[in-house]
Structure 1
């Protein structure tokens, strides 16, 4: 029996939800055909936590409930770094700012300088921790990804202006929630979409968070601060 030695990296993903109560849509983009991880797939903005994210000052902290849920089955003190990574990846991949006007207390890390130059500090108050998933064994890259939901009303500026986005995601677009599954999606994205669809009418953070845990010997659906869900094949 072989053992997967691919390192699992902490990661953060952002689901931006627009027009929640009228015609809900979410922001998605397409990964490149040559991407090592999920080529050609439509995904939410997101990526791995950088070491510098742990030292980024947040203008406002995560909601207490989300902070608590993030601590379960996790390294100590990861909450702020995960929130910062989510905000940084949103900025890098879409050019949208989740923050508050402010001056950084010290020079921003290299990956944050363009964000800081816009005159904003990252703000985590609007982030809701709603899902967690570990990439299955055997993939070229593996992530322990935390999915954050944020209402588009918390974004600064024009929601349709992607001019500051990097080229990591193409075809950035707002996709109506009930049509998102028409796109070429990773399996886990489809699972997360179902979770989000079930939460449209409830703006509060979830009392428990689904955790899709893929291990060598089995895959499990668990709930953080709740009861285990049935094992899946």
Structure 2
């Protein structure tokens, strides 16, 4: 298949936040090396939209689907899948569940859903089936739309049209690394992770680096949630300059590719 024919799949990523002692912190995963996409790289929780996400028949609290469609510039069927995928992937990858028994409550302890979490990850259970069986309401109001990045042409394995969301970890819940996709997890301030990356301690893709750079400008979770984001699709250009790969994207002046790419 020609590289330009690689299909672009919808994906959702959630930047989980908390107010920690050093300030605003974000939850990060280092993906297992050898994975088809972003193996060994440090990322936020997230993944591709599943076909069942679009057809999920579930209770919904918060801004209506039409509001989300306007924010991300897509139709309602597609954006419902993106929001459902954001909540589902966050639960699968780190055990944080943005849902509750009523429209104004949220689950305080997700440990009782361990079996369902495993079944979701194995695609033995759909997210809509899980929420309905447990009598839970998806809390779309706990999410905020943040950004939209598209994998550049030239990526030879997978390409994604990814919507980024932000959310604060609900009180009583704990993010973990109990997923087959994560080699390690950690909470970090955006500035500390950027310094770690600059020193060669991690690999950050342009979207991750860009969002960390943006988050470094906020002091608290309240400030992030109150931010009014103008979301415009960003698709970096992957170039070869003097025999080396270079990625061009808005605000890339301080970004560099790892020497091993």
TM-score by length of 2: 0.69
Counting only pairs closer than 5 Å after superposition, residues 139-150 of structure 1 correspond to structure 2 as: 139=155, 140-150=157-167
Confirm or deny: 8 A CA contact 1:62 1:126 kept in the other structure: no
Give the aligned length.
Answer: 211
CA–CA distance in 2 between the matches of 1:23 and 1:118?
Answer: 35
Gaps of 5+ in 1: 103-107, 222-233
Confirm or deny: 8 A CA contact 2:60 2:138 kept in the other structure: yes
Counting only pairs closer than 5 Å after superposition, residues 33-182 of structure 1 correspond to structure 2 as: 33-56=33-56, 57-62=58-63, 66-71=68-73, 74-101=74-101, 110-112=125-127, 120-139=136-155, 140-152=157-169, 155=170, 157-160=172-175, 162=176, 165-181=178-194, 182=196
Gaps of 5+ in 2: 103-119, 197-201, 240-246, 251-261
Confirm or deny: 8 A CA contact 1:66 1:128 kept in the other structure: no
**Structure index of larger Rg:** 2
Report how far residue 197 of structure 1 moved: 2.5
Q: Which residue of 2 aligns with 1:193?
A: 212
Name the CA shift for 1:99/1:42 in 2 (closer, same or farther; >3 Å).
Answer: same
Name the CA shift for 1:185/1:58 in 2 (closer, same or farther; >3 Å).
Answer: farther
How large is the Cα RMSD of the aligned pairs? 3.2
Confirm or deny: 8 A CA contact 1:12 1:46 kept in the other structure: yes
Of the three residues 234, 250, 258, the one matched with 1:212 is 234
Confirm or deny: 8 A CA contact 1:41 1:184 kept in the other structure: yes
Name the CA shift for 1:210/1:196 in 2 (closer, same or farther; >3 Å).
Answer: farther
TM-score by length of 1: 0.77
Name the CA shift for 1:10/1:173 in 2 (closer, same or farther; >3 Å).
Answer: same
